[in-house]
Amino acid sequence: MSHPRIELVVHDRVARLTLRRLEKLNAIDADMVEALMQACRTIERSDARVAILSGDGHRSFCAGGDIDAWSSLDADVFSRRWLRDGHDAFDALARLSVPLIAVMNGHALGGGLELATCADLRIAEAHVKIGQPEPGLGIIPGWSGTQRASRRFGAQLVRRMALFGEVYGAEEALALGLVDKVVTRGEGLAAADAAAARVLQRSPRATELTKMLINAAEGEESERVVEALAGAVAAASSDLTEGLAAYRQKRTPQFDR
């Protein structure tokens, strides 16, 4: 997939997704939101079994929502398009069927932290800063920065960042559970590759199902997970084979008991 805002390369069953907006510290605008949605569709249709998300450069993993992009929107467009489209893209990332590793190779503030929160594993380079500055700008942490972040990190930690403006370095973020691993500057992608290699050694189907169940336990897409798992069981049963055969033969199905 080629896009001005995002580079996606799938090779050897690993999807590598890189934010490409270095001049804006990889800040998110409407084009990047759409590119993230496209990238998720591409990953799901590929042979990838694990995905790695990083930002271009080392200054910022993602500086969050581009202030110039959203501050000029009227209230209706802001709520109906900017917020909703962003939620859709971030939900798609969080709900990828494959494990997602975020390499926080630069600062992750506001929407950047919300983006990293979508990942199943967060690797931070030692120089990064992490926080939720949105209320200082008169806006809320809008892309599940209160909801998914509270489920994954705990509500009190989100209070400290969002209400009291606490900003954490990588080591403190590790101690607080915001990130899972801290590495030296420039070593984030290598650490992600090592983690991805471990995923590739595991059963792809069991990994996908396990991720779905963990998401459901967290309250992430519980309804879809239940229906997807039930649908998979039904699809693998002899009842479906008999039901389809009876339909095509225009007869009453004879299901086994």
**Centroid of chain to Cα 177:** 17
In the residue annotation, 114 being an active-site residue is answered as yes
Spell out the long-range contacts of 67-73 with Cβ–Cβ below 8 A and sequence spacing 24 or more.
Answer: 67/27, 67/137, 69/27, 69/28, 69/29, 69/30
One pLDDT digit (tens) per residue for the chain, 257 residues: 667 889 999 999 999 999 998 888 999 888 999 999 999 999 999 999 999 999 998 889 998 887 777 777 677 777 677 778 888 999 999 999 999 999 999 999 999 999 999 999 999 999 999 999 999 988 888 888 899 999 999 999 999 999 999 999 999 999 999 999 999 999 999 999 999 999 999 999 999 999 999 999 988 877 677 777 777 787 788 888 888 898 899 989 888 86
Domain spanning 6-200, CATH architecture:
Alpha-Beta Complex (3.90)
Residue among 79, 87, 76, 15 nearest 51 (CA): 15
Which residue type does 255 have?
A: F
How far is 141 from 162, CA to CA, in rounded Å? 7
pLDDT value for 1: 66
Q: What is the pLDDT of residue 115?
A: 96
CA distance linking residue 43 with residue 72, whole number of Å:
32
Q: Which of 7, 34, 44, 114 is catalytic?
A: 114
CA distance 126 to 104: 9
Residue tagged active-site, from 34, 44, 125, 134 = 134
Helix %, strand %, coil % of the chain (to 5): 50, 20, 30
Within its chain, how far is the Cα of 41 from the centroid?
13
15: β partners: 10, 51
- CB-based burial, 140-167: b 16+ in 10 Å, e otherwise: ebbbbbbbbbbbbbeeebbebbbeeeee
- Domain ranges in the chain are 6-200, 204-249
Quote the CA–CA distance of 254 and 256 in Å, as a whole number.
Answer: 7
Task: Please give the span between the terminal C-alpha atoms of the chain, in angstroms, as a whole number.
Answer: 48
